[in-house]
A and B are shown apart, each in its own frame.
Chain A
């Protein structure tokens, strides 16, 4: 709010953007790895799904930590707990919905 009282803080971010490039290469590699596992290999369906879901979660964390600066801020614990709670509830709704409706359909 008191814009004039704060001097702009200049952090040095010089040099080649290694973090971003590594993030990009990793996510591309994981994407094509998942594609190969799903289409190129013929593992059992359950195993395939477990692996590709694990790869997706790993890739999501790359975005979260390498691009989104989730640990940054005056009190980063706030956004970390929010995201964790969001993951908990999202998991509850996805897993619960599948469990309930598949069990009911038999």
Chain B
């Protein structure tokens, strides 16, 4: 009996009233979901329409829902940190709890919020932009989503079962090793990030092949919309960066779970090797979350300036340059570990070089705006705010790139301000921009403009209140990841202002969430399929798009293909649509969701060193792969009558 109590008190996180509150709310929310689904008899609908789907649009929506939830969780972490730091000597969080909170904040925001949000938007927009009916490997796409989901659930479970990781999102050895960190927290980090990382690699391969092979006839690579180009390059970076991370995580897992010595201090391991491998992935990862939003801004700025994008080819080549350079800058994240002059010089120069193609793109957007007929819609506001705010982050990045100067800035609040300027003004502004822009295509109605603009202004101003002072705070000497500070250093007032800004961003997010709910009830319907006067193919089909996307595959002859079609129509040169043919579409499959459940079981087993649980989980995953190999009947035909019915209901066929 005693041993059972002992086990349970370690298994469940105990002793903190906030966590008990979380336990209660998790149980209540789960019960509520079960009740609602059962009461409205929605289980079958959920399973058939969503959980087993291979439709890229539905997978995209599931990504975005999950990412918004994770964004909320990461945001709450941020507010907890800012509350603790608001005044000198606060006791809201103790040091251990604070360590856990900044670790989960960073990991969740990058791995489980920013990336899935981007995956969601690209799932929705890329096949529609290139005139395809699905991605190249729809089944694999579902597997990717469910692996991400399993990883995200595993990571969040650490909060109430076993304890969260506390070695920072970069999990540096030796602190993340078993000697200094004997609990299960770091195991959660390793396994959860590993599982979702496998999904990310698969997503990269899937979208690379989709974009290379499945474009509509006539759409050569250099006639492709810029967002699709950015996803092509992002896919390449994901494909070649994630394997290094897979290995790094696996090696640390071997250290922690099987007693290996890759990163230990004893027995000849090299803690610096971890930093080296982590950042070999970690720096390209920055571009994985930035290039897609560059693509989104390019679409949105061209659409609302009503001009074609300025410097298309330069934009493409600068992304190609970024993809190559992003793999040779990684050491700048650990200049202060000390290295020889040639090494430091090489990585300083490569880092400064990569700023050039990024800077070029800023000018492209400015010249696109020049002499445009600008419409200040909500997505356009996010895009316009991005340009100056992101540039500040970029310029401070070049300051950090210089090895000698980095010794001054490294791990100070200046650094924290720098990467939030790039990741919030870049990635977060970008995904909110894309969310508003493609929302009508996803759901058939628009997000409300007035509430959307309120959310934008509150969030954007608060962002500056939060992070502008933080640069100065860093120069005043406050370091990163410190859980409290004494009065008398002069940091108190600045920290208080920063905390006000952080809560302001929280308010902005709540307004946006409210806008989503309000617009679902009262939002303007999108009956035309083209609410923004768009330029690319996704706006040529009804909103929301039919299962098969395009009743007939369009033929493309120029960039901004849909704009050209509309011009032809105005000039009376519209081509008669081709006759419908039956459409071949992939079947739903239960294997991805089952496989991810096994993956979750295996991951949970490894976290607790429970091999009796982990091994059956791994066998289950392999079993799912074998089962899939024997499925031959994995697609169905949509008959012409059904296409006619759907198109007539959407008003496309009289």
Interface positions of A (Cβ within 8 A of B): 1-2, 75, 78, 82, 85-86, 88-89, 92-93, 96-97, 99-101, 103-104
Give complex CA distance A85, B320 in Å: 12
Give complex CA distance A78, B243 in Å: 20
Given A1-B584, A100-B339, A101-B272, verify A89-B327 contact (CB < 8 Å).
yes
A80 to B: closest C-beta gap in Å: 12
The answer to whether A103 and B339 have CB atoms under 8 Å apart is: yes
A93 to B: closest C-beta gap in Å: 6
In the complex, the 4 A-B pairs of residues with the closest C-beta atoms, listed nearest first? A89-B240, A103-B340, A92-B327, A103-B343
Residues of A contacting B331 with CB < 8 Å?
96, 100
* Other-chain contact of A78, B212, B244, B327 (Cβ < 8 Å): B212
* Other-chain contact of B236, A85, A93, A99, A101 (Cβ < 8 Å): A85
The answer to whether A92 and B328 have CB atoms under 8 Å apart is: yes
The answer to whether B280 and A96 have CB atoms under 8 Å apart is: yes
Given A86-B240, A103-B343, A104-B338, verify A96-B328 contact (CB < 8 Å).
yes
- B203-218 contacts to A, CB under 8 A, are 208, 212-213
The answer to whether B339 and A93 have CB atoms under 8 Å apart is: no
Q: Does B337 contact A (CB under 8 A)?
A: yes
The answer to whether A104 and B339 have CB atoms under 8 Å apart is: yes
Give complex CA distance A104, B273 in Å: 11
Using A101-B273, A104-B339 as known contacts, list a sample of 17 further A-B pairs with CB atoms less than 8 Å apart, ordered by residue number in A: A2-B584, A75-B213, A85-B240, A88-B324, A92-B327, A92-B328, A96-B331, A97-B273, A97-B276, A100-B276, A100-B339, A100-B343, A101-B272, A103-B339, A103-B342, A104-B337, A104-B340
Q: Is the interface of A mostly helix, strand, loop or mixed?
A: helix
Q: Is the interface of B mostly helix, strand, loop or mixed?
A: helix
B524 to A: closest C-beta gap in Å: 39
B328 to A: closest C-beta gap in Å: 6
Give complex CA distance A2, B581 in Å: 13
Given A89-B240, A93-B280, A103-B339, verify A1-B330 contact (CB < 8 Å).
no
Q: Does B411 contact A (CB under 8 A)?
A: no
What are 15 residue pairs bridging A and B, where the CB atoms are less than 8 Å apart in the complex?
A1-B584, A85-B236, A88-B327, A92-B280, A92-B327, A96-B280, A96-B330, A97-B277, A99-B343, A100-B331, A100-B339, A100-B343, A101-B273, A103-B340, A104-B272
A1 to B: closest C-beta gap in Å: 5
Give complex CA distance A89, B239 in Å: 10
Give complex CA distance A1, B280 in Å: 39
Among A1, A88, A100, A101, the one with the most B-chain Cβ atoms within 10 Å of its Cβ is A100
Range, interface on chain B: 20 to 34
Given A78-B212, A88-B327, A103-B342, verify A93-B272 contact (CB < 8 Å).
no
Interface positions of B (Cβ within 8 A of A): 208, 212-213, 236, 239-241, 244, 270, 272-273, 276-277, 280, 324, 327-328, 330-331, 337-340, 342-343, 584, 635
The answer to whether B343 and A101 have CB atoms under 8 Å apart is: no
Residues of A contacting B584 with CB < 8 Å?
1-2
Residues of A contacting B270 with CB < 8 Å?
101
Residues of A contacting B337 with CB < 8 Å?
104
B336 to A: closest C-beta gap in Å: 12
Give complex CA distance A96, B213 in Å: 33
Residues of B contacting A85 with CB < 8 Å?
236, 240
Give complex CA distance A92, B276 in Å: 12
Residues of B contacting A100 with CB < 8 Å?
276, 331, 339, 343
Give complex CA distance A1, B331 in Å: 47
Give complex CA distance A103, B213 in Å: 44
Give complex CA distance A22, B479 in Å: 63
Give complex CA distance A88, B21 in Å: 51
The answer to whether B276 and A101 have CB atoms under 8 Å apart is: yes
Give complex CA distance A75, B280 in Å: 31
Chain B residue with minimal CB distance to A95? B328
Residues of B contacting A92 with CB < 8 Å?
280, 327-328
Residues of A contacting B236 with CB < 8 Å?
85
Residues of A contacting B324 with CB < 8 Å?
88
Residues of B contacting A78 with CB < 8 Å?
212-213
A22 to B: closest C-beta gap in Å: 32
Chain B residue with minimal CB distance to A106? B340
B323 to A: closest C-beta gap in Å: 8
Chain A residue with minimal CB distance to B281? A93
Give complex CA distance A2, B343 in Å: 55
Give complex CA distance A99, B339 in Å: 10
Give complex CA distance A1, B342 in Å: 54
A39 to B: closest C-beta gap in Å: 26
Residues of B contacting A2 with CB < 8 Å?
584
B204 to A: closest C-beta gap in Å: 11
B264 to A: closest C-beta gap in Å: 15
Chain A residue with minimal CB distance to B247? A93
Residues of B contacting A86 with CB < 8 Å?
240
Give complex CA distance A94, B622 in Å: 31
Residues of B contacting A82 with CB < 8 Å?
208, 239
Give complex CA distance A92, B244 in Å: 11
Residues of A contacting B240 with CB < 8 Å?
85-86, 89
